[in-house]
Amino acid sequence: MAVRKIVLAGAPVLKAKAQPVTKMTKSIKTLLKDMKDTLYDANGVGLAAPQVGESLRIFVIDDGNGYVEYINPEIITLSDEKEEMTEGCLSVPGFVGVVERSTGVTVRYEDRNGRTHEVSATGLLAQAIQHENDHIDGTLYIERAKNLYKENEGTIE
């Protein structure tokens, strides 16, 4: 088990647009395994490569329905219907915020074997895909949050 250190808000790698994966190398496969270990160790729903210091277009999600690796994801469609959702982030520990997200999303991505997949999602998975996709585009949820709360306390913004 290789758990990587999670990069916190303010780190330059979290503000940069991540680079696409052009070749599946041994180091990318190691990164994917480490991201899975880190996600589960942190008890998270999703984790993007920039959150472990790697500026690559990769994120991993387990919304309770199974673990999925998203390599070079591209959001194809977002539903017009929006909803305010409470979010937290492993890179912003101790805080949650209210973010408006589309209730549905379709994403195209590659797996570690280079196969292309397209999936449409709603609920927590749709929220997680949008949240993690923001990470690889250099945006943190706190930049979108209407209200930011210290966990178990009142509004701070």
- Binding-site positions: 89, 131, 135
Handedness of CA 129, 58, 44, 67 (dihedral sign): positive
Q: Which residues are annotated as a binding site for Fe cation?
A: 89, 131, 135
Contacts 24+ apart (CB under 8 A), 60-68: 60/32, 60/35, 60/36, 61/125, 61/128, 61/129, 61/132, 63/123, 63/124, 63/125, 63/128, 64/124, 65/125, 67/36, 67/39
| Closest CA relative to residue 44, chosen from 119, 132, 111 | 132
Which tokens in the block code for residue 25?
A: 């190398």
Query: What is the CB-side half-sphere exposure of residue 14 using CA atoms within 13 A?
Result: 20
Amino acid at 55: S
The answer to whether residue 132 is catalytic is yes
- Choose, from 69, 81, 132, 151, the residue flagged as catalytic: 132
> Taking a C-beta distance cutoff of 8 angstroms, is the pair 132, 48 a contact?
yes
Residues annotated catalytic, as ranges: 132
